[in-house]
Amino acid sequence: MSVPETSRRRLLFGSTAIGASAVLTGCLANTPPQQENQAAVAAGGDNAAPGKHVTIGFSAPAADHGWMAAMTTYARAQAEELPDVTFRPTEGGSDVSQQIAQVETLINAKVDVLVVLPADGKAMTDVALRATRAGIPVVNVDRVFDSPEAYRVWIGGDNYGMGVNAADYIAAELGRANVTNPVIAEIAGTDSLPLTQERSAGFRDGLARHGLRVTRRVAAEFTAETGERQATNLLQAASHLDAVWNHDDDQGIGVVSAVEAAGRDEFFMVGGAGSRQMMDRIRAGNGVVRATVLYSPSMCSSAISLARLLAQARGVSDLAEHEVPRSVTTYSAVVTRDNVDQYLDVGFAS
């Protein structure tokens, strides 16, 4: 995966924003005693300015699909932009026990801070607790540990909001087309995962607010192969569809293949996560893919910059607080043909 427009965004946190706006800075303002009634404001320092040199340990699962590969790519690229950071990644583990061993190696190496995207948040909680108790702050990315004591900062996506935003977009498009009693399908990810359950709950609740519901639902497993298989089953069972939400753009590669093989085009589809392939299809405007709801791996860039600030005992600019926030939730923007050019820089390769 090529990392786009680094100089423009510094991959979100090197010299740009939490979410997309806050410039990272150092020291924050203290209200002088003579101004006790004056609200505290950020001092506007510069977090991009080099600070104490720190070593960031990084652990993520094996890059078995595009989104996961992009997480590691973004983390590495962000670290390379920071002259005061030594980046110490581990090779992606094939299972949880391997990842635990890799994190233990980083703890024993006494890195200054850890960034961990766990294969399984529950299973990785104990080793994260060990790091924290050893005085190594942990930035927990996306899949949350079981105990809040296991991490200093959590940064991840809004799975429920992702479903809500997909539902709102679909409802608006069906309304514009004056479609009544629509047949709405959902192609979920792995049903046993909490993130899939949250996405489905958001989608269901979002549709309900518009007086709509999911008519047909299948679940894939976040791969192109399972996406194609489950989409084929769905298309065979449903002679007509009006709209489809597919949770994941990696499995969406297979979904689109199934749709094209079946020669179906009576419906529109909304994807999930924000792959470059889906953005290119949206931009072209000549297929069923009309939008995708972001769940961007660029959050891993932000995790590296937050880890740097933690290790340097610095806060975040444009925030009055002296400390890095406890949690950061990214926003699931809906990417359409109208705004796709704005988001191409965070599109990842499936």
Residue 40: its pLDDT value, please?
57
Which residue ranges form the domains of the chain, and what is each CATH number? 6-154+298-319 (3.40.50.2300), 159-294 (3.40.50.2300)
Task: Name the phi and psi angles at 338, rounded to 5.
Answer: -70, -30
Q: What is the CA radius of gyration of the chain?
A: 21
State which H helix or E strand residue 246 sits in.
strand 243-246
Residue 78: its pLDDT value, please?
96
Residue 58: its pLDDT value, please?
98
Is the pTM value of this prediction over 0.75?
yes
Residues of the chain with pLDDT under 70: 1-45
- β-sheet with 184-188: strand ranges across: 216-219, 184-188, 243-246, 268-273, 289-294, 334-335
CA distance 254 to 231: 8
Cα 39 to the center of its chain, rounded Å? 33
**Exposure string for 151-160, b = 16+ CB within 10 A, e = fewer:** bbbbbbbbbb
